[in-house]
Amino acid sequence: MKPNIWRRFYYWLDERIQFEDLIRFAAKKYVPVHSHSLWYYFGGVTLFLFIIQVVTGILLLLYYKGNEDLAFESIRYIMTEVEFGWLIRSIHSWSANLMILAAFIHMFSVFFTKAYRKPREITWLTGMVMLFLALGFGFSGYLLPWNELAFFATKVGTDIVGVIPLIGKPIQIFLRGGEDVTGATLSRFFGFHVAILPGIFTIFLFIHLLLVQRQGMSLPMEIVPEKAMKTMPFFPNFLLRDLLLWLIVLNILAILAVLYPWELGVKADPFAPAPAGIKPEWYFMFMFQTLKYIPAHIWIFDGEVVGVLLFIIAGVLWTLIPFWDKKTARGEKNLLINYLGLFCILYIILLTILGYLS
């Protein structure tokens, strides 16, 4: 029987690209099935939301103008005049937040299942870098509508950066494009948001995904690998399950974007006094709130400087955990790490709630 047109097209492509090798590789890939398998999906969800960010971001770029005088008006134009512009903008904003939430869940799941241990230290490092980049995406994107809240939140945010000893001031001036938050800051943040950060992010994403594919899924420490351990083929079973979750996330995203459209607010006026109730994005809230609780002076040091330095040290230590958690590296149970992770989660949740209540 003569093969149908699709088959023939496949053969034609295969002759040139050698698909068979890839399929053979995929067919050999298995994902372990156990009580913690659910956490495997959050990396995929983060990736899916990132893809949505890229697609909606490109669409917004068709109309957005990264200029002090036009930014706010261009977003309003997108929301009122452009067909489905409101939806694209709302999805972009909601998806950004969900992506950071998914990234946090993914990071903590990797942390608690100790998946950062040898041989996946680089995977963890690339993941952490991507998380910081995602926060950078959030911070830079927040300013782009050039509305009042974003303007003053950026002012406060970059003020905090400025307190870091020695390097703080130069970084602040670099971020702001001058002494104050102005149109130059907007142009800069726009550049970071649509060119620099995506470029760097893509490199790390490529390495991260490559390593995940090469090393496969990590087994939690408490699960002892057995010969007869239940597994599922990566292709198509795991991929289809991933797809199913993506559809559910897409549904949630659509509901949020339509029922709770992202507001535009009031255009920023650099000469106006700061409005009451300036708050950063929720993922920065715990840090912001902590800085509020720290006294003005701790011994001979400035309280804010101490706070910022503590967060930097904590971030560095967290990122380098595969290298100092020797017990886990030796394959031993390290409850201290679990308690540390639990403390961090509770701290973040509590301070975020307090931040919104205050």
Binding interface with other proteins (CB under 8 A) = 76, 79-80, 86-87, 232-233, 236-237, 240-241, 243-244, 247-248, 250-251, 254-255, 258-261, 264
The nearer residue to other proteins, 171 or 250, going by C-beta atoms, is 250
Shortest CB 29 distance to other proteins, Å: 14
Token pair listed for 119: 């041989």
What's the min distance (Å) between Cβ of 140 and other proteins? 24
As measured in angstroms, the least distance from the Cβ of 89 to other proteins is 10
Name residue 292's amino acid: K
Residue with tokens 């292709």: 235
CB of 166 to other proteins, least distance (A): 45
Q: Which is nearer to other proteins, 38 or 240 (CB)?
A: 240
Peptide bond into 295 cis (omega under 30): no
Give the Cα separation of 36 and 168 in Å (integer): 42
Residue number with CB closer to other proteins (220 or 233): 233
Q: Smaller CB distance to other proteins: residue 264 or 344?
A: 264
Neighbour count for residue 177 (Cβ, 10 Å): 17
Chain mean position to CA 58: 18
DSSP string, 254-292: HHHHHHSPPP---B--TTSPPPS-----HHHHHHHHHHH
**Smallest gap from residue 261 Cβ to other proteins (A):** 5
CB nearer to other proteins: pick between 86 and 201? 86
Q: How far is the CB of 106 from other proteins (least distance, A)?
A: 21
List the alpha helices (DSSP H) in the chain.
Answer: 5-17, 19-28, 41-61, 71-80, 85-112, 121-143, 148-162, 168-176, 183-191, 197-215, 239-259, 282-293, 303-319, 321-324, 326-329, 335-357
Smallest distance, other proteins to C-beta of residue 235, A: 11
Q: List C-alpha distances in Å: 296 to 154, 202, 205, 356.
A: 22, 40, 40, 22
Residue 213 or 251 having the CB closest to other proteins = 251
Half-sphere exposure of 224 (CA within 13 A, CB side): 2
Give whichever of 91 and 128 is closer to other proteins, judged by the CB atom.
91
Cβ nearer to other proteins, comparing 75 with 321 = 75
Instruction: Give the H/E segment covering residue 31.
Output: strand 30-32
Give CA–CA dist 42/37, Å, rounded. 10
Give the nearest distance from C-beta 92 to other proteins in angstroms. 16
